[in-house]
Structure 1
């Protein structure tokens, strides 16, 4: 069947979060605090290992007291903040308030950059009359990120887990997106980087295509194969 709609994941698919070093450096600068360069790099590496940066690496270990919040983190904004600030607090910082500041930073457009081929691919799909949507496991509103980076005009529907209380791979989230775009699952391609979460679309009957979750500089054209899949 002809593909009439394409759903995209957000983090690791269309956009990439900044490095943990850039993240920490920006928050320290905003707070007017300084660390020695070796200490800053060590703290950034520890935050990365803790999985404290949403969109970055997964935690090497989730403490028992955070296990439930982590498992359900994308169902509400409160759980999302609790999970990520809880992971961050495993790493001592000069001021405890920095943990919430780090969380706040990751929700800003400055913390994200589109993959190099994202706009080109979205524009080409839209020009072919393909309906486009974003389906994301997330605890906050990502629409300002798309607006700031000029990608919002291509997106016909945003289906965000925290707004529905449902996380991928639950097929209901993908069904909601298909309904919003006016396409059937059998006419839809889901593009994402997480084989478990994004692969849930297959249970609904969607075709699925995976991209690699890599830094933007290492994945300059990872989205372009989607154009061939749509035809």
Structure 2
């Protein structure tokens, strides 16, 4: 196939969310709450265990009462917030006012970091004349994050599940994204960290490249194989 355009997942693919302990510290600061280092270590571990950080580790177990909501969390903003706040409550923090603050913090550009090769690869694709899009299962607008790190101008379109009311791996969202690029699916490469979700693009004829969902400092060049595939 001749690749004429690329779609990139957001979290774990071109950007990585901050570590859980830093997320918790930032939320505590936002709420004006003082906590000891020991408390932050302990409760960050609890938040990690329940999978409370969007873009972080997945829950080891989803409570039955939240199972349906969790499975549909990326369809709209209300479900996304309710799912993650509900999951976070399982950490049983001593600061009940913090759950909503934690959710607000994760949407801040400061909570995210681009992978070291994100700008390089997106820029190279644009220079080669390829169409570039971001296709994300998400419950909030990631465009301010792209702007904050100066990569918004390297992206032609953003297709966000909560705006389309459909989430990956549903074929409909991949068709929407290809249409936004103005390309047939067989001319598009989907790049993402999840074979289950991002790999769903193959159902409509897109090619798929999986990258490792690792901290940014442990994946310096995970996107560069894209450039080899597009020629």
- Deviations 1:163-187, CA, capped at 9 Å, x for gaps: 1111100111111011111111000
Count of aligned pairs: 231
SS at match of 2:209: strand
Q: Which runs of 5+ in 2 are unaligned?
A: none
The 5-angstrom pairing of residues 90-129 of structure 1 reads: 90-129=90-129
User: What displacement does 1:16 show?
Assistant: 0.0
Q: Distance in 2 between matches of 1:186 and 1:20?
A: 39
TM-score by length of 1: 0.98
The 5-angstrom pairing of residues 130-209 of structure 1 reads: 130-209=130-209
Q: Distance in 2 between matches of 1:106 and 1:29?
A: 14
Aligned to 1:5: 5
User: What displacement does 1:227 show?
Assistant: 0.2
Q: Is 1:221 aligned to residue 221 of structure 2?
A: yes
User: What displacement does 1:23 show?
Assistant: 0.1
SS at match of 1:100: helix
- Deviations 1:179-220, CA, capped at 9 Å, x for gaps: 111111000000000010001000000000000000001000
Aligned to 2:84: 84
Q: Which runs of 5+ in 1 are unaligned?
A: none
Aligned to 2:39: 39
Q: Distance in 2 between matches of 1:78 and 1:33?
A: 26
User: What displacement does 1:94 show?
Assistant: 3.3
Q: Distance in 2 between matches of 1:88 and 1:12?
A: 20
User: What displacement does 1:90 show?
Assistant: 1.1
Runs of 4+ in 1 over 4 A off after TM superposition: none
Q: Is 1:73 aligned to residue 80 of structure 2?
A: no
Q: Is 1:55 aligned to residue 50 of structure 2?
A: no
- Deviations 1:32-72, CA, capped at 9 Å, x for gaps: 21222111101001101111000000001111111111010
Q: Distance in 2 between matches of 1:29 and 1:108?
A: 14
Q: Distance in 2 between matches of 1:171 and 1:155?
A: 22
- Deviations 1:3-26, CA, capped at 9 Å, x for gaps: 100000000000000000000001
Q: Distance in 2 between matches of 1:24 and 1:168?
A: 29
SS at match of 1:189: strand
TM-score by length of 2: 0.98
Q: Distance in 2 between matches of 1:154 and 1:56?
A: 25
User: What displacement does 1:140 show?
Assistant: 0.6
Q: Distance in 2 between matches of 1:190 and 1:92?
A: 38
User: What displacement does 1:93 show?
Assistant: 2.4
SS at match of 1:113: strand
Q: Distance in 2 between matches of 1:97 and 1:155?
A: 37
